[in-house]
């Protein structure tokens, strides 16, 4: 059996075509009981439950939840919750499991009273009700959203004993639908010397960010729908800004104001926060695009391997600059690499699922994934820290290493 | 303003590039209040709600529900519920709003005890636990699922006063992830003269269908995940068959048995049901692929137009044979047609969103959409009935007409 498998790199990595074309029979690695007669279970002996107006998850899947990362002191709703990436598949995150990051909790907005105002350096200040916005032409885009603080624990000197969700769960993928910002700005008539747009939310924190006008005219969306239905409250209902590929904080939720201006606002969230201190004491501001990045979601810490045999290594790759070009996987700590299969269609600034077969021999080893976009590949951790210095806390995108011990248990390590 | 819009067909249909490129300013058709100072609403004056482990929809969107089409007499859970297509956007249906069709309700399956058995004309009968199945390589595919009884009311002699959901809501789109059936059949070793596979569910109805072996080896999936998370109970948890492009009934839910055989089983659901009576008294059986089809979801009955002006016409197109090639829209009852913009990526056997701008002059008119795949375009209702005869009740895929009256109200009509 094993002899027919084409190995693509060291320590059991199989050629990606084994999975692309379904040519992988895994009897050698699996143990199955033979078919046998058995009594019918009780759920086949009685009628089942009726239809419902809005379904929910299976009871046995109740453990698949957002991980509450803890509210910030003195607040009721500030903090974050994390997407349980290691329990999910494909590229769409269910809206109920999309990560959260709130600066003053989730406001209970009445959509009948909420408005979006465009003002500042414009010829015609405009105010839109939600019904007004719903009259405009829309676009639909499948895109990722990632907090720039995602994977921050990896800046620690020693690797934390964290799961994939705890390290990478400020990342989700959705199908977003809304009105191109460019249409509304065109209607308002932007002044010739305008260069920025300050976006403000209707939460109690009045969370605001300054966005370059070019981005707003390029691919920014006034998002009204997420995964087919109207936005969820924690994702900005009734309306949010969505900036494909940029740090999540700039996709301002509960959007109520766009102020066109010549200069950025220098708000709290772009001065004391969301800036990147450099080794020489200066700091980078307005570091918007998220870097090319990947993580193996299965296997990962908590998902223990059931002994030697065949496995699928599966994970997510994404880039704020465009489409993922390739993902390579190593099962020997980086000595050799094999190219993973990418699930089509590979879309710009969207989560991309990669897969590769692996024949684990039961010996301890280290699994890595390395994504590439048009600009190049993910850096090693050492290379990233050499550039960023020790005081960085955003935009971590180095290659992730999971160590596998002889019991099949995985752990976060620095490789 | 109006003069700058390029008209593409009669009665105000605009060229699709107006929407593709964001070059449409709609001041002429909209009325906005000027920006003005206002007191901050209460949700900006108090901290918001905390994070949650699994989010739910906004209270103001509570009307967006599955429409219960009524349980069948003498049962607790047999019948259907319909996806509220007219309230949704994009191409993904939230799993909680995916249509339902049950023959004996939703079974409460314990995934630890549920198994999938492959037997019959195979060299090695195999039984898989769910943990076994989760070890296998997976694929992810965004695909539609449509009940072959969808749009059945249009076979009535007179058009029913129905909404889009009531006519088209046995249709949903999801991202499905699971194990290619071909891998498991290869492992079992299919006999040389086998031609069919009988798939049976673990509900009390033991719903079963006979599937040609070729389809099973082509693109059939043992689906374990829907829209990123494990299947919902009403969609087959813990495992279902998924046959891209084929009538929904064949994608057997709660899958527990695949029996490889030389002949079809001639089960109830492929003899007394899910067959197509012909004008000459014979009946077609095993009519699996769903035809090319489309519907305008907005505007549609219940979504009343707010007076003359600019609107986006938006809808869904799909084909069980492959990708949608184009969608044309008419605003004058079919006298002239304009090509709609299709949201990329257009995927095989998946819901495709189309959009086209429309300048409504306030006069009564009839809106139509006509989708084409590689085999051709949707038929008119008259042409479809001429082929099918009067006793058909499945596979309705004719061009849909919505009439707009002077008050902007829409209604189902036969055009």
Cα–Cα distance list, B228 to A91, A322, A353, A361, B315 (Å)? 6, 22, 11, 30, 24
Q: Is the peptide bond before A115 cis (omega within 30 degrees of 0)?
A: no
* Rg of the Cα atoms in chain B: 23
Token pair recorded at residue A224 = 């009204």
Distance in Å, alpha carbon of A389 to nearest chain B alpha carbon: 33
Pick from B27, B58, B92: which is nearest to A92 by CB?
A: B92
pLDDT > 90? residue A8: no
pLDDT digits 0-9 by tens, B114-152: 999 999 999 999 999 999 999 999 999 999 999 999 999
Quick check: is B237 in a domain?
A: yes
The pLDDT value recorded for residue A30 is: 42
pLDDT > 90? residue A288: yes
Pick from B105, B175, B224: which is nearest to A91 by CB?
A: B175
The reply to whether A21 touches chain B by the CB within 8 Å rule is: no
Other beta carbons within 10 angstroms of residue B1's beta carbon come to 10
C-alpha closest to that of B313 among B351, B293, B341: B341
The pLDDT value recorded for residue A78 is: 86
C-alpha B250/C-alpha B377 separation (Å) is 25
Task: Using DSSP bridges, classify how beta strands A255-261 and A115-120 pair: parallel, antiparallel or unpaired.
Answer: parallel
Element (H, E) at A19: helix A17-20
The pLDDT value recorded for residue B75 is: 72
**What is the CA A269 to chain-centroid distance, rounded?**
21
All residues at 6 or more sequence positions from B224 whose CB lies less than 8 Å from its CB, including other chains: A89, B130, B133, B134, B138, B177, B178, B179, B230, B231, B238, B239
**Phi, psi values for residue A330, rounded to 5°:** -125, 140
The pTM assigned to this predicted structure is 0.94
Residue B138 and residue A89 in contact, taking contact as beta carbons nearer than 8 Å: yes
Look at chain A and report how many structural domains it folds into: 1
pLDDT > 60? residue A295: yes
pLDDT > 70? residue A313: yes
pLDDT digits 0-9 by tens, A394-410: 999 999 999 999 999 99
pLDDT > 80? residue B390: no
> Which chain A positions have a beta carbon within 8 Å of B353's beta carbon?
140
Which residue on chain A is closest to B50 by alpha carbon?
Answer: A77
Mean of the per-residue pLDDT values of chain A: 92
- Residue for token pair 């910002």: A181
C-alpha closest to that of A220 among A167, A193, A195, A184: A184
The reply to whether A361 touches chain B by the CB within 8 Å rule is: no
Quick check: is A154 in a domain?
A: no
Label residue A246 by pLDDT band (50, 70, 90): very high
Residue A387 and residue A278 in contact, taking contact as beta carbons nearer than 8 Å: no
Pick from A45, A79, A227: which is nearest to B51 by CB?
A: A79
Quick check: is B264 in a domain?
A: yes
- Per the DSSP assignment, residues forming a β-bridge with B341 are B355
pLDDT > 90? residue A17: no
C-alpha A30/C-alpha A48 separation (Å) is 33
**Phi, psi values for residue B31, rounded to 5°:** -125, 120
Dihedral of CA B383/B385/B389/B393: which sign?
positive
Mean pLDDT for B410-414 is 98
State whether B49 and A96 contact (CB < 8 Å). Answer: no
Other beta carbons within 10 angstroms of residue B318's beta carbon come to 28
- Tell me which of A403-407, B3-7, B239-243 is least confident: B3-7
C-alpha closest to that of B381 among B363, B356, B400: B400
State whether A43 and B227 contact (CB < 8 Å). Answer: no
Quick check: is B127 in a domain?
A: yes
C-alpha B100/C-alpha A48 separation (Å) is 13
Mean pLDDT for A51-75 is 90
Quick check: is B279 in a domain?
A: yes
Instruction: Mark out the alpha helices in B100-171 (DSSP H runs).
Output: 130-133, 164-168
State whether A55 and B95 contact (CB < 8 Å). Answer: yes
Residue A356 and residue A311 in contact, taking contact as beta carbons nearer than 8 Å: no
Mean pLDDT for B181-202 is 97
pLDDT > 60? residue B250: yes
Q: ipTM strictly over 0.90?
A: yes
Quick check: is A291 in a domain?
A: no
The pLDDT value recorded for residue B24 is: 45
C-alpha B18/C-alpha B21 separation (Å) is 6
pLDDT digits 0-9 by tens, B326-342: 999 999 999 999 999 99
pLDDT > 60? residue A25: no
Token pair recorded at residue B214 = 């070729």
**What is the CA A37 to chain-centroid distance, rounded?**
45
Residue A277 and residue A392 in contact, taking contact as beta carbons nearer than 8 Å: yes
At B332 the three-state DSSP class reads coil
Label residue A18 by pLDDT band (50, 70, 90): low
High-pLDDT (> 90) share of chain B, %: 83
Quick check: is B1 in a domain?
A: no
C-alpha closest to that of B191 among B125, B111, B112: B125
pLDDT digits 0-9 by tens, B75-124: 778 899 999 999 999 999 999 999 999 999 999 999 999 999 999 999 99
State whether B229 and A66 contact (CB < 8 Å). Answer: no
Establish, for the pair of chains A and B, how many residue pairs have beta carbons separated by less than 8 Å: 381
What is the residue-wise DSSP string for A44-79?
GSS--B---SS----GGGTT--PEEEEEPTT-SS-E
C-alpha B106/C-alpha B104 separation (Å) is 7
Quick check: is B243 in a domain?
A: yes
Q: Where are the beta strands (DSSP E) in A25-170?
A: 67-71, 79-82, 100-102, 115-120, 126-129, 139-146
Query: Integer distance in angstroms from the first to the last C-alpha of chain B?
Result: 33
The pLDDT value recorded for residue A272 is: 85
Q: What domain range is A139 assigned to?
A: 115-149+173-284
Say which CATH number the domain at B272 has. 3.90.420.10
The reply to whether B28 touches chain A by the CB within 8 Å rule is: no
Other beta carbons within 10 angstroms of residue A330's beta carbon come to 23
Q: Let me know if A45 is exposed, middle or buried by CB neighbors in 10 A (0-12, 13-18, 19+).
A: exposed
Task: Using DSSP bridges, classify how beta strands B13-14 and B67-71 pair: parallel, antiparallel or unpaired.
Answer: unpaired
């Amino acid at each position: 059996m094993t002899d027919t498998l084409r190995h693509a790199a060291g320590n059991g990595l199989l050629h990606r075509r084994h999975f692309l074309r379904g040519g992988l029979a895994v009897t050698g690695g699996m143990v199955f009981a033979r078919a046998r007669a058995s009594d019918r279970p009780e759920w086949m002996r009685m009628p089942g439950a009726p239809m419902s107006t809005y379904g929910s998850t299976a009871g046995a899947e109740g453990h698949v939840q957002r991980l509450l990362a803890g509210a910030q002191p003195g607040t009721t709703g500030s903090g974050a919750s994390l997407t349980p990436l290691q329990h999910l598949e494909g590229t769409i995150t269910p809206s109920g499991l999309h990560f959260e990051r709130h600066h003053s909790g989730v406001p209970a907005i009445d959509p009948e009273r909420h408005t979006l105002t465009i003002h500042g350096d414009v010829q015609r200040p405009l105010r839109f009700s939600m019904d007004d916005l719903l009259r405009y032409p829309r676009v639909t885009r499948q895109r990722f959203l990632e907090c720039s603080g995602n994977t921050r624990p990896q800046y620690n000197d020693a690797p934390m004993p964290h799961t994939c969700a705890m390290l990478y769960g400020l990342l989700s993928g959705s199908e977003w639908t809304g009105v191109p910002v460019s249409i509304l700005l065109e209607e308002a008539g932007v002044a010739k010397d305008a260069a920025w747009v300050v976006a403000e939310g209707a939460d109690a924190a009045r969370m605001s960010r300054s966005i370059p006008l070019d981005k707003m005219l390029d691919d920014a969306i006034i998002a009204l729908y997420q995964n087919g239905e109207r936005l969820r409250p924690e994702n900005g209902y009734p309306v949010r800004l969505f900036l494909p590929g940029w740090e999540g904080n700039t996709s301002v939720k509960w959007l109520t104001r766009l102020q066109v201006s010549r200069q950025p606002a220098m708000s709290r969230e772009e001065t004391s926060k969301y800036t990147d201190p450099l080794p020489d004491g200066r700091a980078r501001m307005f570091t918007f695009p998220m870097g090319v990045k990947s993580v193996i979601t299965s296997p990962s810490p908590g998902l223990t391997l059931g002994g030697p045999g065949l496995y699928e290594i599966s994970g997510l790759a994404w880039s704020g600059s465009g489409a993922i070009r390739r993902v390579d996987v190593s099962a020997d700590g980086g000595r050799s690499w094999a190219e993973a299969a990418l699930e089509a269609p590979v879309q710009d600034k969207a989560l991309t699922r990669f897969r590769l077969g692996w024949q684990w021999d039961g010996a301890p080893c280290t699994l890595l994934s390395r994504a590439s976009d048009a600009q190049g590949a993910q850096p090693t951790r050492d290379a990233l820290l050499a550039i960023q210095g020790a005081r960085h806390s955003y935009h971590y995108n180095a290659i992730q290493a999971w160590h596998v011990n002889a019991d099949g248990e995985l752990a976060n390590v620095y490789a």
